[in-house]
Structure formats: structure tokens, C-alpha cells
Amino acid sequence: MPIYEYQCQACGHEHEALQKLSAEPLVTCPACSKPELQKKISAAGFRLKGSGWYETDFKSGNKKNIAGEAKSSPAK
């Protein structure tokens, strides 16, 4: 379940709520009890990695081009 951030437009109180994706957004501020709560837009707190992603994602050093290293160079 994702954590959503809210901010009250009346008193400025910031609130985080752990909610299901299908849950209705909160509207009542827990600090002032006014129906002025607005959902904020924030960055996701996860990083995608593992098989199936681009080979250059999260690589460092000399391992940037793994596919190019795997190709055999033609013999002269």
C-alpha cells in the first residue's frame, strides 16, 4: 500500500496516510477538523532494478556496456 501525503489548505498541517490504491482521498484535516485536506504530489520512494531493465541502469565503473562486452570481436 502506498503512503499518500496531504496538506490542509486551512491550517497548513501536513499529514501522511497509508491507504489502498482504491481508497477515497482524505478530506478532513486531523488537526483542525476542516474539510480542506488536499493530496500532494511527491516522488516515489522505490528503485527499479533486476532482470528485464535496461542494462545501463544502476551500473557503475567499467560494467556500463555488458552487451557490447559479450559480443565476440571478429578475428583478423
| CATH number for position 33 | 2.20.28.10
pLDDT of residue 26: 96
67 has pLDDT over 60: no
What is the predicted pLDDT for the residue at 19? 92
Q: What is the pLDDT of residues 3-50, one digit of tens each?
A: 899 999 999 999 999 999 899 999 999 999 999 999 998 776 666 666
What is the reported pLDDT for 16? Answer: 93
pLDDT of residue 2: 85
* Domain, as residue range, for 4: 1-41
Examine residue 49 and state whether it is found in any structural domain, yes or no. no
Q: Is residue 29 part of a domain?
A: yes
Inside any domain, residue 19: yes
The model's confidence at residue 58, banded by pLDDT at 50, 70 and 90, is low
Query: How many residues are given for the chain?
Result: 76
Distances (CA, A) of 2 to 12, 15, 34, 36: 22, 14, 24, 21
